[in-house]
Amino acid sequence: MTIEERDYGYHVPVMLRESLEGLGIQPAGVYVDVTFGGGGHSREILRSLGPEGELYGFDQDADAERNIPDDPRFTFVRSNFRYLYNFMRYYGRSGEVDGLLADLGVSSHHFDDKERGFSFRFDGALDMRMNTRAGRTAADVVNEYPEEALADLFYLYGELKQARRLAAVVVKAREKGRIETIGDFMEVVRPFAGKDKEKKFLAQVFQALRIEVNDEMRALREMLRSALRVLRPGGRLVVITYHSLEDRLVKNFLRTGNFEGKSETDFFGNVSSPFRLINNKVIVPSGEEVERNPRSRSAKLRIAEKKE
């Protein structure tokens, strides 16, 4: 059975073959999947490891725990990947990791579970937390944030031009009663969407809220800095992004070692970066993969190796 033919449960892993090739798996190596989720990437990494290999999988979502493989080479870390360095130091593997994979997409399971509140296709609680055991919900953000803070998050994380008007309308609507459900929220924001671009507009609004609720951009920065610390020289970093905000951060960090993309050069004019790019040109899913899994269409894969 080929990789493409296997059943990966509630989440189809994106660019699986390309990710594994990017990791360059050594049978006795130490690897980390910081976005364990449905476990698809992790199970394929385990298939490539020998008896001495080790794999650590991070996930803060309780649902992911149902997918933990019964394998002595696998260690599940019940945590946000922003704490990567702390845990790898705890396990005595900081500076010894041969490869790290981050698939930053929200799993199909989250979008398809109406109770989680990630999708505008269903009505339900306006939640959007990756970790349902703690933290504020999307309803808390919508009902409690000052108007200016709402406008900022719609603009920065949703890249919405009408962010200020949208925030003003939300604030006015919540004065009549708390916005608790997706249905309540959709009544408020839908008038801003033109019929021909409604799905795109709603996707941007929901993306902005999800990023804020889960503090995704700051967590990503912390994880990338930690990845540099836990990888050994020659270790690989493989990252799959799904929207321009996170892709820009990853691209800048791999190219320059900072998130602003400011290039520092040595005496000879060479760009000083802690990484060597494995793919100068970003990798995207094949037409066949997009046809099999439409949710992969916006994915971008970047691979880099920590310099000696």
What is the reported pLDDT for 29?
98
Q: Please tell me the predicted confidence (pLDDT) of residue 112.
A: 47
In sequence order, what DSSP letters do the residues of 270-285 get, joined into one string? -B--SEEES-SSPB--
pLDDT in tens, 230-253: 999 999 999 999 999 999 999 999
The β-bridge partners of 306 are 275
Q: Given pLDDT bands bounded at 50, 70 and 90, which one contains residue 254?
A: very high
**How many other CB atoms sit within 10 Å of the CB of residue 279?**
14
| Mean pLDDT score, 215-236 | 97
267 pLDDT higher than 70? no
What is the band of 132 on the pLDDT scale with cuts at 50, 70, 90?
confident
- Pick the more confident residue, 39 or 194: 39
Higher pLDDT, residue 229 or 199? 229
Which of 3-12, 54-63, 90-99, 215-224 has the least mean pLDDT? 3-12
pLDDT band at 91 (very low <50, low <70, confident <90, very high): very high
Residues of the chain above pLDDT 70, percent: 89
Place of tokens 């900022």: 152
Q: What is the DSSP string of the chain?
A: --GGGS--TT-PPTTHHHHHHHHT--TT-EEEES--TTSHHHHHHHHH--TT-EEEEE---GGGGGG----TTEEEE-S-GGGHHHHHHHTT-TT-EEEEEEE-SPPHHHHH-TTT---TTS-SB----SSTTSS--HHHHHHHS-HHHHHHHHHHHH--TTHHHHHHHHHHHHTTS---BHHHHHHHHGGGS-GGGHHHHHHHHHHHHHHHHTTHHHHHHHHHHHHHHHEEEEEEEEEEE-SHHHHHHHHHHHHHSSSS----B-TTS-B--SEEES-SSPB---HHHHHH-GGGTT-EEEEEEE--
Given a cut of 50, is residue 162 above it in pLDDT? yes
Question: What is the average per-residue pLDDT within 256-268?
Answer: 80
Tell me which of 47 and 273 has the higher pLDDT. 47
Which of these ranges, 38-47, 102-111, 146-155, 225-234, has the smallest mean pLDDT? 102-111
Arithmetic mean of pLDDT, 141-156: 96
Q: What per-residue confidence (pLDDT) applies to 107?
A: 55
Report the pLDDT averaged over residues 251-261: 91
Residues 284/300, Cβ–Cβ less than 8 Å: yes
Residue 109 confidence (pLDDT) above 50: no
Paired tokens of 265: 């050069």
At 199, give phi and psi (nearest 5°): -60, -45
**Two tokens at 117?**
């509140």
| pLDDT (0 to 100) of residue 117 | 46
pLDDT one-digit tens code per residue, 65-77: 899 999 999 999 9
Residue 105: how many CB atoms within 10 A of its CB?
Answer: 22
Round to whole Å and give the CA distance between 48 and 10: 22
User: Which pLDDT score, from 0 to 100, does residue 111 have?
Assistant: 45
> Is the pLDDT assigned to residue 45 strictly greater than 90?
yes
Residue with the bigger pLDDT between 17 and 107: it is 17
- Asked if residue 116 has pLDDT above 80, the reply is no
Kindly state the average pLDDT of the residues 145-160. 96
pLDDT reading at 118 higher than 60: no
pLDDT at 174 over 50: yes
pLDDT at 11: 59
Task: Indicate the pTM of the whole model.
Answer: 0.88
pLDDT exceeds cutoff 80 at 28: yes
Q: What is the CA radius of gyration of the chain?
A: 20
Q: Is the pLDDT of residue 196 over 80?
A: no
